[in-house]
Amino acid sequence: MKYISTRDSNRTPVSFTDILLAGLAPDGGLYLPAEYPQISDAMLTSWRQLLAEEGYAALAAEVLKLFVDDIDDTALEAITARAYRTPVFDHEEIVPVTRIDENLYLGHLSQGPTAAFKDMAMQLLGELFEYELTRRGAEINILGATSGDTGSSAEYAMRGRDNIRVFMLTPAGRMTPFQQAQMFGLDDPNIFNIALDGVFDDCQDIVKAVNGDPEFKKKYSIGAVNSINWARLMAQIVYYVSSWLKITESNDQKVSFSVPTGNFGDICAGHIARQMGLPIDKLIVATNENDVLDEFFRTGDYRPRSSAETQATSSPSMDISRASNFERLVFDVLGRDAGRIADLFGTRVRAGGFTLAEDPAFPAIAEEYGFLSATSSHADRLATIAETNERLGVLIDPHTADGVKAAREWADKIDSPIVVLETALPVKFSETIAEAIGEAPAIPERFEGILDAERHVVDLPNDAEKVKDYIRTSIETTEV
């Protein structure tokens, strides 16, 4: 199994462990398998039995073996066993799936240490990083950007690990108090929180700018945990497989997924699972008021918004107007034409965007790739949270509410059951929950006292050079 960059016309092959530590490709592109492995009927049958008898970690190992050929099978099995276990996750199934309404299911992805779906990938990433760095006798300095959940998931997965530092950029004042407390309350010497004067897209741009300085990146061993890192998507493919297995009885049944979407990583994993042959019917892209992706799937126009145009909403982890992983989908849709992708995402996006409305490939996005989309407002979220709680006795967070609203919008036009992928537990968004149902959600016992912790965070301007100076100084003065 080799990997290629979405912008490399030469299709230069790279191994898994090299892209694991590199993150973004040197040409600015994103890595994908040179060819997607295919899931056979026999594999689905064996995986169904494996999940029932041995659980999620064993299934994860089998899926990973399809993508990783430079870590031996025994080591992969040990890695997934450490990543997906209780009490790290507070449910023995790791990703339980429950029926919440007729033909509507909830995939519970928030059982991990930070109560967000990002834990599903980050716990695996922490194990993979530690394994490979130990094998190489190397260290890595992870630079990431977060709109809320990626940061805490990454920090909880990497805290205290040898040979790893984490530098996490957050948009100042744009996260909920609970999200800030989860990150800024950590006092581990290898964790560095940076509050940037800007929005998430500014944070993401600085990550790309630092990665675009090859000399700095090499000298300071800069790596990535954002969803630009292929290993994140690889980990997320597993819960599409497990969710499909849990609500089907035979291998010819199809399932649709409705996915709250910001940076397009979560639903991109579903796209890849579908390309591998997992019987997925539709993939519903659920957006909030920052509806750049909804506009694209409806019209073919991709018009990323500026920082000033990106709204602060009650589903803040989706307040993103330039979705990095969207490049991976367009790469597949346009026949893996790396030259064209380099033009679209390397040049035209910076100039304001592009359109595929008249491209012969555009209709295939819905017809062949199964994509649909919908958008939600604050009022929609409040109504969905209130109705789902009152009628069904299920309390959901605002992002998951966007997913439920989108699923209901398309339910009458889809024959298959729909799994809404949960984003986080409601406790992370207490103000919105209280507005919707009249009271704040109960704080799970494992998070009691979190809001009282002392904060550890540095304020920096929206300036890549200032961020690099901080990273440089911190690395030179802190051992790991």
Average pLDDT rounded to a whole number, residues 438-464: 90
**pLDDT > 80? residue 437:** yes
Q: What is the pLDDT of residue 175?
A: 84
Domain ranges for the chain: 97-114+230-437
| Mean pLDDT (whole number) for 283-289 | 97
**Per-residue pLDDT tens for 215-259?**
999 899 998 787 788 999 999 999 999 999 999 999 999 999 999
Task: Determine what percent of the chain falls in helix, strand and coil, rounding each to the nearest 5.
Answer: 45, 15, 40
Average pLDDT score, the chain = 94
Q: How many CA atoms lie within 13 A of 405 on its CB side?
A: 26
pLDDT above 90 coverage of the chain, percent? 83
Spatial separation of the C-alpha atoms in residues 158 and 179, rounded to whole Å: 17
The reported pLDDT for the residue numbered 316 is 86
Alpha carbons 464 and 466: distance in angstroms, whole number: 5
Q: What is the mean pLDDT of residues 435-459?
A: 90
Q: Which of 2, 65, 118, 428 is catalytic?
A: 118
Q: Looking at per-residue confidence, does 321 or 238 come out higher?
A: 238
Token readout for 283 is 């993939």
The long-range contacts involving 405-409, CB below 8 angstroms and separated by at least 24 positions, are 405/286, 405/374, 405/376, 405/380, 405/381, 406/258, 406/284, 406/285, 406/286, 406/373, 406/374, 406/375, 406/376, 407/104, 407/258, 407/284, 407/286, 408/104, 409/374
Across 197-329, where does the E strand assignment appear? 222-223, 255-260, 280-287, 301-302
Q: How many CA atoms lie within 13 A of 69 on its CB side?
A: 8
The predicted structure's pLDDT at residue 142: 93
User: Both tokens of residue 48?
Assistant: 């169904």
For the entire predicted model, the pTM comes to 0.92
Confidence check: pLDDT of 478 > 90? no
Position 274, amino acid: R
Neighbours of 463 (CB within 10 A): 15
Residues 75-87 as b/e (b if ≥16 CB within 10 A, e otherwise) read ebbebbbbbbeee
Q: What is the pLDDT of residue 146?
A: 86
Is 413 noted as a catalytic residue in this protein?
A: no
pLDDT cut 70: percent of the chain above it: 100
pLDDT at 4 exceeding the cut of 80: yes
Joined together, the tokens standing for residue 292 give 């750049």
Cα 159 from chain centroid (whole Å) = 19
Helix axes 230-247, 56-65, angle to 10 degrees: 130
- Lowest-pLDDT range, 73-77, 186-190, 199-203, 259-263? 199-203
Q: Measured between alpha carbons, how far is 300 from 280 in angstroms, rounded to an integer?
A: 23
Output the pLDDT for position 294.
97
The two tokens of residue 69 are: 């050929």
The tens digit of pLDDT for each residue in 17-58 reads 999 987 789 899 999 999 999 999 999 999 999 999 999 999
Secondary-structure class of domain 97-114+230-437 per CATH: alpha beta
φ/ψ of residue 290, rounded to 5:
-85, 80
User: What pLDDT was estimated at residue 48?
Assistant: 98
Q: Are the CB atoms for 169 and 145 separated by under 8 Å?
A: yes
Q: CA 144: distance to chain centroid?
A: 12
Closest residue by Cα to residue 410 from 291, 256, 252: 256
